[in-house]
Amino acid sequence: MPELVFFSGTMDCGKSTLALQIEHNRSTRGLKGMIFTRDDRAGEGKLSSRLGLVTDAIEAADDFDFYAHLVDHLSQGGRADYVIADEAQFLAPGQIDQLARVVDDLGLDVFAFGITTDFRSKLFPGSQRLVELADRVEVLQVEALCWCGARATHNARTIGGAMVVEGAQVVVGDVNHAADEVGYEVLCRRHHRRRMTAASSHAGALSPDVLPVDAATRA
Ligand SMILES: Nc1ncnc2c1ncn2[C@@H]1O[C@H](COP(=O)(O)OP(=O)(O)O)[C@@H](O)[C@H]1O
Ligand SMILES: Cc1cn([C@H]2C[C@H](O)[C@@H](COP(=O)(O)O)O2)c(=O)[nH]c1=O
């Protein structure tokens, strides 16, 4: 049975790498995939992984209709055995419905990849719809880690290393960015709730206001 699968996780946990691996494994066995993306950091029409691999993809803008595109392609004699959609959090809920229809009416597997929640730990609309419609939600097994060593479960947006909670839901960007730029950092829930990034935890540790534990308990 064809399936709609949502591969989900934080930023930087290997989603795009897995998308490229699925594509590689299937294409080397003669299957033909149709690859979509939306607002990849590498630029329009690209699906890229931080491991350095990149492939061409069809850019799915706001008004893009996945179902109509696949029907057109197949009815013109084109071939498609499966579909990959990266950065699926950026898709509109209606576009996720179209992907579900591709599975149900065209009989193709659809593999969607995306982060579940934004920098305020709210669901992206596209991810919400995927959770509602997917046959399976797979959480990636390679854990991204918080600076404290715990499993990272949340995405923080940072400016100058400090976590921010105001701003547009969508700002394309990357982890490990230079201090003064808008960037992202993955954190465990505890540190996301406390707005403690690697930079601010380091600053706290170096602050003369922070007493060593012994001195604090004696005072
Ligand atoms: N230099 C490196 N060496 C080994 N693995 C790396 C390196 N850089 C990135 N990675 C791996 O790539 C993962 C990020 O992959 P990517 O597909 O770009 O993530 P996502 O799409 O989830 O944001 C990291 O979690 C890490 O496991
Ligand atoms: C948390 C968060 C992220 N984004 C953007 C930043 C990146 O461009 C992508 C995630 O890409 P990745 O391959 O999973 O690293 O999403 C955003 O726009 N808003 C957010 O709140």
Q: How confident is the model at residue 214 (pLDDT cuts 50, 70, 90)?
A: low
- Encode 167-189: b = buried (16+ Cβ within 10 Å), e = exposed: eeeeeeeebeeeeeeebbbbbbe
Name 109's bridge partners.
82
Q: How confident is the model at residue 180 (pLDDT cuts 50, 70, 90)?
A: confident
Distance CA 123, CA 89 (A): 9
The predicted pLDDT at position 213 comes to: 52
What average pLDDT does this structure show over 98-113? 98
Which tens digits make up the pLDDT trace of 115-146? 999 999 999 999 999 999 999 999 998 889 99
Residue 157, SS3?
A: strand
pTM: 0.93
Asked if the model's pLDDT at residue 178 lies above 90, the reply is: no
Active site residue 87: yes
Which tens digits make up the pLDDT trace of 164-174? 999 999 999 99
CATH topology of domain 1-142: Rossmann fold (3.40.50)
Please tell me whether 23 is known to bind a ligand: no
- Encode 96-113: b = buried (16+ Cβ within 10 Å), e = exposed: bebbbbbbeeeebbbbbb
State the distance from the centre of ligand 2 to the C-alpha of 208, rounded, in angstroms: 35
Distance CA 92, CA 213 (A): 50
83 lines ligand 2 (CB under 6 A): no
Q: Which one from 3, 23, 59, 87 is the annotated catalytic residue?
A: 87
Question: ipTM of this model?
Answer: 0.98
CATH 3.40.50.300 domain range(s) in the chain = 1-142
Which tens digits make up the pLDDT trace of 22-68? 999 999 999 999 999 999 999 999 999 999 999 999 999 999 999 99
Average pLDDT, the chain: 93
- Sequence-separated contacts (24+) of 181-184 with Cβ below 8 Å: 182/157, 182/158, 183/157, 183/158, 183/159, 184/11, 184/119, 184/155, 184/156, 184/157, 184/158
> DSSP assignment of 171-188, as one string?
----BS--TTSEEEEEE-
Which two structure tokens, joined as six digits, stand for 69?
A: 């595109």
